[in-house]
Amino acid sequence: MNPKILIIGACGQIGTELTQKLRKLYGTDNVIASDIRKLNTDVVNSGPFEVINALDFNQIEHLVEIHQITDIYLMAALLSATAEKNPAFAWDLNMNSLFHVLNLAKAKKIKKIFWPSSIAVFGPTTPKENTPQYTIMEPSTVYGISKQAGERWCEYYHNIYGVDVRSIRYPGLISWSTPPGGGTTDYAVDIFYKAIADKKYECFLSSETKMPMMYMDDAIDATINIMKAPAEEIKIHSSYNLAAMSFTPTEIAAEIKKHIPEFEITYNPDFRQKIADSWPASIDDADARKDWGWNHKFDLESMTKDMLEHLG
């Protein structure tokens, strides 16, 4: 039996590609996309779509009932840089949407939840290189604080109420299909657009700021694979570390120059530099690889080639 899936926040950076992949996998009618407004996009036009406010429990419950939903992917959130500009709303959206979904699972109205965490759960006191699964977590951003609290609640609902909730800590995500969405790692998306359009890019981070990154194809595969894994393979019910590659703005610029020799990069760090400095440079994701067989396909070279082919 195919799951009946509701994606909340389906028009966002991850939701857009996740919706299309899940529809291919389980059939268009089995994947209900939803977001706060109805835009004229492929996600909206290619299958069932509902307008939903992630902060309204009754709306979510109503959709679960009328569509007989079994699995919810909760992708709605205010990302790092945007959340810093509106901390109270970010906390409200990021936390209460999670409670709504956890409580539906607690009441046995749905079977399974995917909720994304992030490397933002780590902070300036976390070991920067090869950050372990279990380590110091003192996040310094609203986004990071909400994700760390969310991890604890996911684990609590699993331990106390038996809720099947699965989560991964996304690194910076790079995609050609949706423009940047207000994250600190988004320079690594924007740089491709500017390289093609203007042959130059002014980076809001310093040249040697190294951060963990992942191509969207790999992130989508990880998301679907953790949800497909048998329950007994999921040993961590807070959130799994996930990694693919780590690089600096200098390194990605050098890779782009191999394809666009006239490309130039300059640096003008802003408030996002402080956020980036508080995050890891590389991640140890041995548990995800061991428990449910995670494996990435893209490195910096293959990702750059694929991005430029799609955008060019």
Place of tokens 């909760």: 74
Domain ranges of the chain: 5-171+216-241, 173-212+244-311
Determine the Cα–Cα distance for residues 15 and 33; give it in Å rounded to an integer: 9
Contact 82, 141 (CB under 8 A): no
DSSP 139: -
pLDDT given for residue 148 in this prediction: 98
pLDDT given for residue 233 in this prediction: 98
Q: Encoding tokens for residue 156?
A: 């609590």
Give the domain 173-212+244-311 fold. Answer: UDP-galactose 4-epimerase; domain 1 (3.90.25)
- Direct distance between the N- and C-terminal alpha carbons of the chain, in angstroms, rounded to an integer: 40
Q: Encoding tokens for residue 100?
A: 């709504």
| Buried-state track 126-163, b at ≥16 Cβ within 10 A, e below 16 | beeeebebeeebebbbbbbbbbbbbbebbbebbeeeeb
Question: To 10 degrees, what angle do helices 57-67 and 87-106 make?
Answer: 40
CA distances from 111 to 102, 164, 265 (A): 10, 7, 48
What is the number of other CB atoms lying within 10 angstroms of the CB of residue 183? 23
Contact 121, 170 (CB under 8 A): no
DSSP element (H, E) containing 188: helix 187-197
Q: Encoding tokens for residue 264?
A: 């130039």
pLDDT given for residue 1 in this prediction: 85
Question: Which CATH code for domain 5-171+216-241?
Answer: 3.40.50.720
Maximal C-alpha separation, the chain = 58
User: What's the whole-model pTM score?
Assistant: 0.94
pLDDT given for residue 179 in this prediction: 76
Per-residue pLDDT of the chain (312 residues; tens, 9 = 90+): 899 999 999 998 899 999 999 999 999 999 999 999 998 888 899 999 999 999 999 999 999 999 999 999 999 998 888 899 999 999 999 999 999 999 999 999 999 999 999 999 999 999 999 999 999 999 999 999 999 999 999 999 999 999 999 999 999 999 998 777 778 888 999 999 999 999 999 999 999 999 999 999 999 999 999 999 999 999 999 999 999 999 999 999 999 999 999 999 999 999 999 999 999 999 999 999 999 999 999 999 999 999 999 998
DSSP element (H, E) containing 222: helix 216-228
Contact 282, 243 (CB under 8 A): yes
Query: Which residues are identified as catalytic?
Result: 143
